[in-house]
């Protein structure tokens, strides 16, 4: 019985050590200030977000109403010099204002841009070289 309990406690400790410290679901969405609102367009401030590209989709939410959905939009133009992006509103539930906030998911890196791929390849090459000799 004590070995079973020790095994179970060891497994529990390992599972807790491997568990993430916080939820990662919200880490990919970035908040943008809505600088201006037109009839069917919005201008976003893109400070410190060089990854924003034409064609990306996002949503506008109302932070005063617990991030209730206000609108959906698509990026039309990105002006890197002025740090602004122009987006067209594709649908909205209420009138969009500058008090709302835009949320856009940062695109994932391609498989060959992941540092873990190259670290694993290097470690595998070293292990392969050591084992083959």
Residue 81 forms part of a structural domain: yes
Question: Looking at the 3D structure of the chain, how many domains does it have?
Answer: 1
- Whether the pLDDT of residue 91 is over 90: the answer is yes
Residue 2 forms part of a structural domain: no
Residue 47 forms part of a structural domain: yes
Q: Assign 115 to helix, strand or coil.
A: helix
Within 8 A by CB and 6+ apart from 84, the residues are 35, 43, 44, 45, 46, 78
Which is higher by pLDDT, 49 or 96?
A: 96
Which is higher by pLDDT, 48 or 28?
A: 48
Residue 13 forms part of a structural domain: no
Question: Tokens representing 118?
Answer: 């190259």
CA–CA separation, 68 and 10 (whole Å): 43
- Whether the pLDDT of residue 25 is over 50: the answer is no
Instruction: Please name which of 29, 46, 17 lies closest in space to residue 104, comparing C-alpha atoms.
Output: 29
pLDDT score, position 115: 85
Residue 117 forms part of a structural domain: no
Percent of the chain with pLDDT over 70: 79
Query: What would the pLDDT profile of 45-71 be if each residue is shown by its tens digit?
Result: 998 888 899 999 999 999 999 989 999
Structural domain including 69 reads: 28-110
Q: What is the CATH number of the domain that holds 67?
A: 2.40.30.10
Which is higher by pLDDT, 17 or 23?
A: 17
Which residue intervals of the chain are DSSP H helices? Answer: 2-18, 115-132
Q: Assign 70 to helix, strand or coil.
A: strand
Residue 130 forms part of a structural domain: no
Question: Tokens representing 92?
Answer: 């909205």
């Amino acid at each position: 019985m004590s070995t079973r309990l020790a095994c179970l406690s060891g497994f529990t400790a390992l599972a807790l050590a491997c568990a993430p410290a916080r939820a990662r679901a919200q880490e990919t969405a970035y908040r943008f200030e809505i600088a201006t609102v037109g009839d069917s367009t919005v201008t976003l401030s893109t400070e410190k977000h060089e990854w924003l590209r034409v064609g990306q989709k996002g949503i506008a939410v109302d932070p005063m109403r617990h991030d209730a959905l206000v609108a959906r939009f698509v990026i039309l133009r990105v002006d890197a010099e002025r740090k602004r992006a122009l987006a067209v509103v594709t649908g909205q539930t209420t009138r969009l204002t500058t008090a709302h906030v835009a949320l856009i998911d940062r695109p994932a890196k391609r498989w060959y841009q992941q540092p873990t791929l190259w670290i694993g390849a290097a470690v595998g090459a070293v292990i392969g070289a050591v084992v083959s000799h």
